[in-house]
Amino acid sequence: MKKWFAICAVAALALAFIVPRTARAEYFAPGQEERLEDYNLTYKTTTVSVGEEVGEETARKVNSELQHAAFDNLASVNAQANTLAYTDQRAEGSYTQEITRQTPAFVSVRCARRFSVEGRPVYSDATGAVYSLTTGERLALGDLFTDSSDYLSIVKNEMERQLDHPAGLEDDQPFYLTDTQLVVLCKAGEQESMQRQEHEVNIPLERLQGLLKEEYR
């Protein structure tokens, strides 16, 4: 019973991240690990940053977004961690930012979360973002393409081919880029199910060469 309580508590904690947070204050040193050890949860945060060689203002904007994402994540954990105080099952979690690709035009970042109870994985998910290194702004999926309508059929077909019951594309659809793939983060599962989870849909860039703007190929 205690084990199931711990697993449910961690699942509830993880689902709490879906709720947007507005707390802004903390600073995480890029490349260093920051640990939260409270109640029965050990939580590790690892962040990344871009250097000022991309421009001071651009670096400030991008790094501010990455810092805010990390702090919002930790604030959610801190707010929910007391649910684990009522079990003797030890939980561990992590939030890790990783630069998946960087060019003079953009930087792509993948953010992953993992939770385990007594060493057994119980929850994981990921999200991603691509930032312009010209403006520092976060890019939408359609910004990568010469015609924002042409890519939709390819992306949707890949989602349907790789997943069962994928959710539709949204205006703020999370994604990231690697040297060889566009990775779209998409929820999948029965519409009425509480178990809809985030999945990574991998699309080879070579399939998109005629559609991608030159700087994203």
Task: Note the pTM of the prediction, 2 decimals.
Answer: 0.80
Q: What pLDDT does 189 receive?
A: 62
Instruction: Give the whole-angstrom CA distance, residue 137 versus residue 212.
Output: 19
Q: What pLDDT does 83 receive?
A: 60
- 155 burial via Cβ count (<10 Å: 0-12, 13-18, 19+): buried
Q: What pLDDT does 81 receive?
A: 64
Q: What pLDDT does 118 receive?
A: 84
Report the chain (217 residues): mean pLDDT per 10 consecutive residues: 46 41 45 64 89 95 94 79 63 92 98 89 90 97 84 84 78 93 82 62 90 93
Which domains are assigned to the chain?
1-139 (3.30.565.40), 141-217 (no CATH)
- Backbone phi and psi for residue 41, each to the nearest 5 degrees, phi listed first: -120, 130
- Backbone phi and psi for residue 50, each to the nearest 5 degrees, phi listed first: -110, 150
DSSP-derived 3-state class of residue 93:
strand
